[in-house]
Structure 1
Amino acid sequence: MIDQRRRVLTLGAMALPLATAMFPVRAADKFPSRPIRIIVPLAPGGSADTVCRLLGNGLTKILGQPVIVENRPGAGGLTGLSEVARSAPDGYTLGYSLAGALTVAPHIARKMPYDPFKDLVPVSQVIGVPEIIVVNPRTGIKTLGELVSYAKANPGKLNFGSAGNATIPHLAGELFKRVAGVEMVHVPYRGSGPALNDLLAGQVQVMVSGITLVRSHIEAGRLTGLAVAGPRRVDQLPNLPTTAEAGVPAMQVSNWHGLVAPAGLPPALLDGLHHGIAKAMALPEVKDRIDSEGAEIVASSSAEFGAFLKKESDKWGGLVKELGIQWD
Structure 2
Amino acid sequence: MALNWTRVLTAGVVLAGLGGGLAYALTRPSAHPAQYWTGLGTPDLANGETLFWAGGCASCHAAKDAEGEGLKVLSGGRALPTPFGTFHVPNISPDQKAGIGAWTLAQFGDAMTRGVGVDGEHLYPSFPYGSYARLTAKDVNDLFGYLKSLPANSNVAAAHELGFPFNIRLSLGGWKLLYFTDQPRVELANASAQVKRGQYLVEGPGHCGECHTPRNVLGGFQSGMWLAGGPNPEGEGRIPDITPGSQTIGAWSADEIVAYLETGFTPDYDSVGGSMVEVQKNMTHLPKSDLEAIAAYLKAVPAR
Task: Output the TM-score relative to the length of structure 1.
Answer: 0.24
Larger radius of gyration: 2
Higher relative CO (CA 8 A, sep ≥ 6), structure 1 or 2? 1
